[in-house]
Amino acid sequence: MIRELDVRFPPNATISEEDREARVLLLASDVADMIEDQLEAAVREWIRTKAFMPKAAELRNLAADLRQRAMSDPDDRAAIGRRVAENYNTRLQGEGKQLRWVYNEKADTMHLVPLEEFRRRDEPRCTPDEARDIRDRHRRAA
């Protein structure tokens, strides 16, 4: 995402190629801890509305603003919570950890549970609509 910003907003001719590369690497480093979906949304919004290269603080502020707007709708808030839990669980699975994040829509919280407990949960892991969509996609693919 940061490389795309670099291409879209090149610096003026007075900056050397080494300085330009250093700026891009520093910006990437400064936003490396951001959640990928939030960073991508902030970069897309920045590209759509600005005409210059952002600073890390500007991207972080924009991501926070976008997140706040999304959080104002409870349905969006739950979807975001589920997606964040999925992202964290993908990372945990890749690291071989025996833990999983569970999102509680009623309390709007997340907590870690052991993998065995996560597998035993009686709650569906997706909504009925999501399950139907998944089945439909598999049928079309077959």
- CA–CA gap between residue 59 and residue 29 (Å, rounded): 13
Q: Taking residues 97-122, what's their average pLDDT?
A: 81
Tell me what pLDDT residue 60 has.
Answer: 95
**56 half-sphere exposure, CB direction, 13 A CA radius:** 12
| DSSP one-letter code for 11 | P
Q: Taking residues 101-110, what's their average pLDDT?
A: 83
Tell me what pLDDT residue 137 has.
Answer: 83
pLDDT tens, 110-138?
A: 888 888 887 766 555 667 777 788 888 88
Quote the distance between the C-alpha of residue 14 and its chain's center: 35
Q: Taking residues 62-87, what's their average pLDDT?
A: 80
pTM: 0.50
